[in-house]
Structure 1
Amino acid sequence: MTLLYGHRGARGEAPENTLASFQRCLAQGVTRCELDLHLSRDGQLMVIHDPTLRRTTGRRGKVSHYDAAELQHMDARHGGPSWPQPCPIPTLAELFEQCAFEHWQLEVKSASRTGSARLVRAIAALCQQYGLVEHVTLTSSSLTVLKAARELAPELQRGLVAERAWLEPVRVAQRMGCSLLALNWQLCSPQRLQRAQRAGLHVSAWTVNQPLLMQRLAALGVDSLISDFPGLARQVIGSP
């Protein structure tokens, strides 16, 4: 059975990485999600994709230049699907408190060695606080981040995010001790999928928005799909 993850909530239908987006995902019966994290100036985990604010809020500056309380007053509807109410940038703690997802893919972008360590420690502490260690996979395309996770938070499952085939993703995921491989759907050849699954990796294909592609990848046997339209994906492949 192919599982479903909402991409940044339900990114195609509500402002991405906002409480409204994640609630929209849950309302459509999809109880797994993928999201992105950056640290605020005061060390809080903020749910936002870019390191800068312009694309989603229209504001200048970096996430790391503002305290969490300031970021939580910024409206993240800019450039996304129209939405009637303001959508603040949430903290990960807010989502843990208000959204009952069965599983979370928490993606961390590239960071310095020091930055990776800070992010990993913050994620591990919050997951412990909310009793969600078994319900989280920390994912990244950065080997620096994955090494930090392996060393500093071995209790958390890890996942490699792979967008290009030049770096053999299955081999790298194995070397980093990952349990999940998040593959750009274009890399989901039958051969690579079989090799990954034989290695014990859960293969999560992203970002899958077209019904025919959803059907094709599900038939191919991917373990999960990540979609901007989780409700549509649920209708198409009839999966939880």
Structure 2
Amino acid sequence: MRNPATLLVILFALLFRAITRLIVKTEQHSPLKIGHRGAAGYCPENTISSFQKALELGADYLELDIQMTKDGELVVIHDSTVNRTTNGKGKVMDFTLPEIQNLDAGSWFHRKFAGEKIPSLSEVFDEFAGKIGFLIELKKPSLYPLIEEKLAEELMKREFTTGDRQIIVQSFDRESLKRFHELLPSIPIGILVRNAGLKMISNKNLKSFASYVSYVNPKISMVNKRMIKRIHLHGFKTIIWTVKRKNDLKAIKNLHVEGIVSDFPDLS
């Protein structure tokens, strides 16, 4: 019969092994921290200041939206008009790049950001490529003929066409994603899903995505354990958007998703 001291050593060894396995398992399922439009909770969205803040807060990826100007330049802005986030009015497609960059894209958020401009995608890459990954949303691509080609050209020009370059392209528009995938099949594709599109993640539709999609990315309000399990069973990864509260973050982490988009990248 083993003495109490030996049993105690064995007990501690088993406890240590169990804790180590738990830590390793947790690390394996640690989701990517993705800054929503940069750090939209702290700075004017989709601006250099916002992206810089997200980087400082430890984000792994920047989530950003692209649209196209009248002169065919890709710019980083969420809405199809400049009304909400600048001091101007009108559709993005009706401005040239110099015109749209003359607008103030910071004062609406706080006066200390006065003079912040709408960046071009090229400027964002110049500043942040190699420092952080990019989750790029093709925003309303049906408004912008050839926007998929424009994005593909920009990525090829910078040699961002291999999987290790930390680029993911996503959209709600399936046809646009198919076109982009045909142009650059090496770039992972994510399909966005909102509440009204719940039927999009039926088993039938998930099977239909398999030829071009790597990520199925639902809105947080529609997420549950069964849904995430089904997405994973079909071989997809998943990124959840958009987390704004710490309590929501804790619940989502327990689902073992691959990424979490948040206005506050420092939530943990």
Same fold (TM over 0.5): yes
The match for 1:175 is: 208
Question: How far did residue 103 of structure 1 move?
Answer: 1.9
The match for 1:166 is: 198
> Is 1:190 the equivalent of 2:225?
yes
Structure number with greater CO (CA < 8 Å, separation at least 6) is 1
Asked if 2 retains the 8 angstrom alpha-carbon contact of 1:15 and 1:82, the reply is no
User: CA offsets, 1:74-116, max 9 Å, x none?
Assistant: 111253355344210000110101014432111012333x835
| Distance in structure 2 (CA, Å) of the matches to 1:44 and 1:198 | 39
| Distance in structure 2 (CA, Å) of the matches to 1:201 and 1:37 | 24
Asked if 1 retains the 8 angstrom alpha-carbon contact of 2:106 and 2:113, the reply is no
Asked if 2 retains the 8 angstrom alpha-carbon contact of 1:170 and 1:195, the reply is no
The match for 1:214 is: 249
Match of 1:33, SS?
strand
- Residue 144 of structure 1 aligns to which amino acid in structure 2? E
Asked if 1 retains the 8 angstrom alpha-carbon contact of 2:238 and 2:259, the reply is yes
Give the alignment partner of residue 136 of structure 2, picking from 102, 106, 112: 106
Match of 2:199, SS?
coil
Greater CA radius of gyration, 1 or 2? 2
Match of 1:77, SS?
coil
| Distance in structure 2 (CA, Å) of the matches to 1:30 and 1:228 | 11
Count of aligned positions: 231
Q: List gaps (5 residues or longer) in structure 2.
A: 1-29
The match for 2:8 is: none
- Residue 145 of structure 1 aligns to which amino acid in structure 2? S
The match for 2:17 is: none
| Distance in structure 2 (CA, Å) of the matches to 1:76 and 1:39 | 17
| Distance in structure 2 (CA, Å) of the matches to 1:85 and 1:110 | 28
- Residue 166 of structure 1 aligns to which amino acid in structure 2? L
